[in-house]
Amino acid sequence: MRANVRSPSPIRVLFLCVGNSARSILAEALLRARGAGRFEVRSAGTEPKGVNPLTLRTLQDAGLPVEGLRSESVENYRGEPFDYVITLCDEAREACPYLPGAHTLLHWNLPDPAAATGGDARRLAAFKDVFARLERELEAFIPDALARHEAPSRSGVA
């Protein structure tokens, strides 16, 4: 007789920053790509400004898809449950509205690459630096989140 094995539900993650133009969009695309389908990922801003073209270029240069990425308000997600809400700047952490439901709040304070000045090469380098920092954060986050998410299913409770 075959055991009834239920695959765990995806881990719901919301990345939050002020403009939802760079850091949170980069994080959303990265986790979607690196999460092997185990994460349902969204990003939002407290004051969305639209997706920065250098965000899209950074993702394309890394070979990641950019289709469907858009800048939206955190208000769009106020009633949705998330397992993790990750703020990506001090301003977003301070302005983060109350999001109902049990979730873990994490804070990764990263510089805003959209605020970088100088020529195109210097500005693009700022985006790639933040991208690399997000990759390092996610290298630690993904296995930890998966282990925590799967732990209750190992308890023997059916």
- Domain harbouring 109, CATH code: 3.40.50.2300
- Residue 21 in any domain: the answer is yes
Q: How many Å is the Cα radius of gyration of the chain?
A: 17
Q: Are strands 104-107 and 39-45 parallel, antiparallel or unpaired?
A: unpaired
Looking at the structure of the chain, the number of domains it has is 1
* Amino acid, res. 147: A
Q: What pLDDT is stored for residue 14 in this prediction?
A: 94
Quick count: other Cβ atoms within 10 Å of Cβ 124? 17
pLDDT mean for each 10 residues of the chain (158 residues) = 60 93 97 94 94 97 95 90 90 67 85 94 97 97 92 50
- Residue 98 in any domain: the answer is yes
Q: What pLDDT is stored for residue 100 in this prediction?
A: 62
What is the pTM (predicted TM-score) of this model?
0.88
**Taken in order 61, 31, 25, 110, is the CA torsion positive or negative?**
negative
Q: Are 92 and 16 in contact (CB under 8 A)?
A: yes
69-96 burial code (b ≥16 CB/10 A, e <16): bebeebeebeeeebbbbbbbbebbbebb
- Residue 147 in any domain: the answer is no
Residue 49: give the domain boundaries.
11-141
